[in-house]
Amino acid sequence: MTNPVQLSALACSVVILAGCVTASEQPSVTGGSASSGMPTPAEQACLRDVTRTTNNPDVVLLDSSFSQAGTEVIVGVGPQRARWRCIAYSDGTTAGIMSMTDEGAM
């Protein structure tokens, strides 16, 4: 028969481990890869292509949200950090690059 203390400790371990698994399975990134200090490949692709689209090298990663369908990346452009939206795909391509401050103007 199992000791109640052992059973309680086992239950706590399962709850703690379940929380760890849930947290690690949420690959959403907010504010870029701040924890690692380096943008992900998807974020890098959007930074590159927003720079090309705007012809402005002054870009900064503001936010990103991972999805297997495509990662949404928000990029700040210029000294005012005008918000631009970009979708990055796992093959390194991007799409949907548009200004969020001027109703989609390029």
Burial of 75 (0-12, 13-18, 19+ CB in 10 A): buried
Please say whether the beta carbons of 61 and 49 come within 8 A: no
pLDDT in tens, 23-40: 333 333 334 444 467 999
Please give the average per-residue pLDDT across 2-17, as a whole number. 45
Instruction: Note the pTM of the prediction, 2 decimals.
Output: 0.64
pLDDT in tens, 51-95: 999 999 999 999 999 999 999 999 999 999 999 999 999 999 999
Residue type, 24: S
Domain boundaries, the chain: 27-99
- Residue 94 makes CB contacts below 8 A (sequence gap 6+) with 45, 46, 49, 86, 87, 88
